[in-house]
Amino acid sequence: MPNGINRLIKHPAWLSRQCSIPCENIKYKEWDQMRLNNNATLSPTPHFVKCRTNIGKADEIESNVLVMGGNEIHDYFNTFYKKLMFFDRDHPPSVLGAEWALRLGASTTESQIFSTLTNEYDIFDYIGALVARSGILQLQPWIARDLKASIQQYIPDLPLTQKYDSIHIRRGATSLTSIENDEAKRYVVKYWETKRGYYKCHESNPFLCVNYIPFVHYLRQYEDIPCNGDEDDSDKDEDSDNGEEQEADGDNDRDQVEAEVEDDDSNVRLVYIASDDKTEVQSEIEALPKDSNGYTLLPTTDEDGDMTSTSCHRFKFIFSNYISQDRIAGTSSCEDRYQQNIAAVADLMILSKSNLFVGEYNSNWGRLIRTFRLRMNDKFKIFNGESLTYDSGEGMKVAWGNERPSPPGW
């Protein structure tokens, strides 16, 4: 097996220029100790480590390696590379910006567009779409193989050849019991304050029922989406003055149509749910109304929060059956850690390739999914004032929080 990140990610030759992996004689624990000794958090400009590649061979060379982990990369970017990305942005076009875009596979026109951008959100969205298109992040063949096997074993009900939606619910870093994300907590408190008096709440906090935003709120993002098979009703009221008899006939017709729709499985939206709180989400789904076929219905409520009816949407939800063995046995074997990683990447791929994505961008996972779904817009559309990027599917629905995530480091 290859060393380092090449064990997971296929490094494209055009990016590595086919250079060999530096200093292959140094093992992981040694690299990690170098990272700890050269802490970029304490010293924002870490020093390079000198080591030799192809020791004892004719093509032996000395390499300078910058050793960092995830946190160090974030801090290093925040204190150094962020400034470079905005180099001379006050007076575009930026020659350096154009060169960066070209290195990521941008066309001449696309690099020129990128060089003129001054808004940090636009810059990162454009770069994100370039990265998604470039092929930099490709899984190694054996990882792709194990992903396929994992999906077939643990998510057999998800037909990847058909359209499906996805909902991502991350509660570990967004609930009030977590200290990871103060911004997310603010949205949770705001949500439950609007529901005050209509829910049985915790005695410790009269404003809260649970310390997270419930699943039904994610589901409500479908309320402005037409149901499958719905047609334009603009011409259906032209003859509405023909008396009560026609109105009664209309009611009978509507009842017949609703019965036919309920018997038609093609009208059901298939939705994959990825969550770190699977058991609770499943119990919330069980509490929602169902039709005669067992499909979940989207409830509509009045101003007091009481359910008044259901919308025409019907849902079939799919979860992964994967259960981490180390959580059961209290162990953490290499094999189980590998399976956990495979299951996590499977979630990421399923969410990224879904037809419609519903989630939020208060977690790194949600932001990464958004980046993978970004696509470059046509240059002529951009010149005509349309957005720089678009979503690869039917769209992304933000259940709560900021509609557009902040760039990394902000």
Residue recorded with tokens 């101003």 = 303
pLDDT, tens digit only, all 410 positions of the chain: 445 667 777 777 777 777 777 787 788 888 888 888 876 555 566 778 888 877 777 777 888 888 888 778 877 877 777 777 666 666 666 777 888 888 888 999 999 888 888 888 898 899 889 988 887 778 888 988 999 999 999 999 998 788 999 999 988 654 445 445 667 777 877 787 776 544 445 555 554 567 788 899 999 999 888 876 554 444 444 444 444 444 445 445 444 444 444 555 667 899 999 998 899 999 999 989 898 899 999 887 665 555 666 778 899 999 999 887 665 555 667 788 888 889 999 999 999 999 999 999 888 888 889 988 999 899 889 888 889 998 887 889 999 888 888 776 66
Q: What is the pTM of this model?
A: 0.77
Q: What is the pLDDT of residue 91?
A: 65
Q: How far apart are CA 287 and CA 289, in angstroms?
A: 7
Q: How far apart are CA 290 and CA 310, in angstroms?
A: 10
Q: What is the pLDDT of residue 370?
A: 92
**CA dihedral of 96, 100, 102, 103, whole degrees rounded to 10:** 140
Cis, peptide link before residue 46, omega less than 30° from 0: no
Q: What is the pLDDT of residue 286?
A: 93
Q: Please, are residues 120 and 86 in contact by the beta-carbon 8 Å criterion?
A: yes
Neighbour-count burial of 128, counting CB atoms closer than 10 A to its CB (0-12 exposed, 13-18 middle, 19+ buried): buried
Q: Please, are residues 202 and 208 in contact by the beta-carbon 8 Å criterion?
A: yes
